[in-house]
A and B are shown apart, each in its own frame.
Chain A
Amino acid sequence: MATDSQNLKTAYRPTHDEAARQAFVGALKGYVNGSMESQLAAEYDNQLKFDFMEKHGQEPRDRYQGTEAFRHSHLYQLWGSAVYTSQNLMWETVGDTCDRLEPAFEARQAMLAKRPTLGSLELQDDFVPPDPIRHVEIHRQPGGYFGPAGSTDLHRGMHYFGTVELYRNAKGLGDGSVAVGEPSMGRYLLGALQRRFDAIKPRAVLDLGCGPGSQTLAYKEAFPDAEVWGVDLSAPFLRFGHLWAEDQGVAIHFRQANASDTGLPDAKFDLIISHILFHETWDDILPAIMEEAHRLLAPGGIFINGDTPYQPDRLSIPKQVTNHWQVINNGEPFWTRFADTDVKEALIAAGFEASNVFADYDPLGTGEYFIFGGRKGT
């Protein structure tokens, strides 16, 4: 049993049986994402494509026509049920660990509240997350990302935090060996930054859409002299992030705000990073977020983002169809609209010069990750 003086990184440890159940979920997700999807692709290549051509006189051209081709496939329907089931099991098994550990996290929170803080936590009691995201359970996380105003809830942050590596590895976008809570994607994005720019020494760094804040720690680790900020819509996530950072003795300033309207001063930051922000954000607001990033950057400052690599021109029709299924049924409602967006065009429209924007792919796990952004002119 964790005590109120135990470091949370040490305390967050599934029991033997919880770890075994979580490993099963990971393996099941790997099976449905890997073996079953391969069989769907084979069924499409050998049968469904030709059935569609016979009926429509052409091959399916996009995810909508592809979905029509798959609609009556028994294998496709069973695959959907298996994905759905694996997602339910993921939340349930990680939820068991969170339920067990929540009292220890609350005790640690109470103890740390008696000490001077290193960073800060700015929540707004009257903050209402915008439509439509406040009604959406992203990834079908039970209860979603938001809680009632004034709540001290840590569970939502813990729940997301506990699933993220499991989910990423099952998508082939992790190396499978990263412990829960390690800021592996933050470090990865810093590597992506180094691959594109000479070494920088930012005075201030912003993690835009920081979620539960665990990746934000990588930026303070890399730039210990910088003032590091994290902004997110979710109070429960920020509350968790503040606790996690303070527990590890890391000074980070967390602020509840919309990424398109952070309330932070002009030209405050030399580096703005986001990780999986845009595919969880409806595309209507994407231009405003990019304008806000441009406003917040100091001259010469860098905006770099890592997100899902599912642009349709890179994907086969079966893969577009299975992704579209996730949009409809598995809590990824903004995913494909983001994938359809020309981010370079959006960056230029937001004020970045055409010669200073980038959008390409870096290796990650068994796949690739979409890296895009721009440097503000001097």
Chain B
Amino acid sequence: MANRAHTKSHRGRRLVPGPDPRVDTLLGMVMALTSEVSMLRERLDAHESLAASGKVPDQDAVDHYQPTEADESRRKQYRDRLIDKVCRPLVASGQQDG
């Protein structure tokens, strides 16, 4: 009774969801890269915050830096702007061709 066709179709892993695997692959690469850019921007932000408070921004200090509420707010703006910028051509392309 539980083995209905609609559940059987979800067995295993789907590799890509869209009609063109190349789009999914490329989007995966772009987003992984964007994630690294975002992380590096936050790491730079930690450097700047440490330096501003007179601390040496060495690797250990940055690795253990706990962002303040003000840091988090600033970083959220960076992230949102970055995602909006990277995804803008995607959305514009969809709107033109949809």
Contact = CB atoms under 8 A, between A and B. Distances in A.
Nearest to A42: B95
Given A20-B43, A36-B91, A85 B34 contact: no
Given A77-B23, A89-B32, A140 B87 contact: no
B63 A39 contact: no
Nearest to A136: B10
A81 interface: yes
Interface in B63-93: 63-65, 75-76, 79-80, 83-84, 87, 90-91, 93
B27 interface: yes
B24 A85 contact: yes
B52 interface: no
Given A28-B31, A84-B17, A73 B63 contact: no
Contacts of B13: 137, 140
A31 interface: yes
A24 interface: yes
Interface in A70-120: 73-86, 88-89, 93
Interface string A53-84: 00000000000000000000111111111111
A359 B78 CA distance: 41
A74 B97 contact: yes
A130 B1 CA distance: 12
A313 interface: no
Contacts of B9: 328
A280 B45 CA distance: 40
A333 interface: yes
A285 B7 CA distance: 13
A80 B2 contact: no
A81 B27 CA distance: 7
A36 B27 contact: no
A15 interface: yes
A132 interface: yes
B43 to A, nearest CB: 7
Given A88-B28, A329-B17, A132 B98 contact: no
Contacts of B91: 35-36, 39, 75, 78
A333 B79 contact: no
Contacts of A126: none
Contacts of B84: 31, 35
B93 A131 contact: no
Contacts of B62: 16
A81 B11 contact: no
A151 to B, nearest CB: 20
Given A20-B39, A77-B18, A132-B2, A82 B90 contact: yes
A20 B42 contact: yes
A329 B14 contact: yes
B71 to A, nearest CB: 11
Interface in B1-45: 1-4, 6-14, 16-20, 23-24, 27-28, 31-32, 34-36, 38-39, 42-43
A23 B94 contact: no
A3 interface: no
B39 A84 contact: no
Contact of B63 (A15, A21, A83): A15
Interface string A120-135: 0000000000111001
Contacts of B2: 130-132, 282, 284-285
Contact of B42 (A16, A76, A82, A135): A16
A331 B11 CA distance: 10
Contacts of B14: 329
Given A24-B39, A75-B95, A16 B64 contact: yes
Nearest to A32: B87
Given A28-B31, A81-B17, A136-B10, 12 more contacts: A16-B63, A20-B75, A27-B80, A27-B83, A74-B94, A79-B94, A82-B27, A84-B18, A86-B31, A89-B31, A135-B12, A333-B6
18 contacts: A16-B62, A16-B63, A21-B38, A21-B39, A24-B79, A28-B35, A31-B83, A31-B87, A74-B93, A74-B96, A74-B97, A77-B23, A83-B17, A85-B28, A132-B2, A132-B10, A136-B10, A328-B9
Interface of B: 1-4, 6-14, 16-20, 23-24, 27-28, 31-32, 34-36, 38-39, 42-43, 46, 62-65, 75-76, 79-80, 83-84, 87, 90-91, 93-98
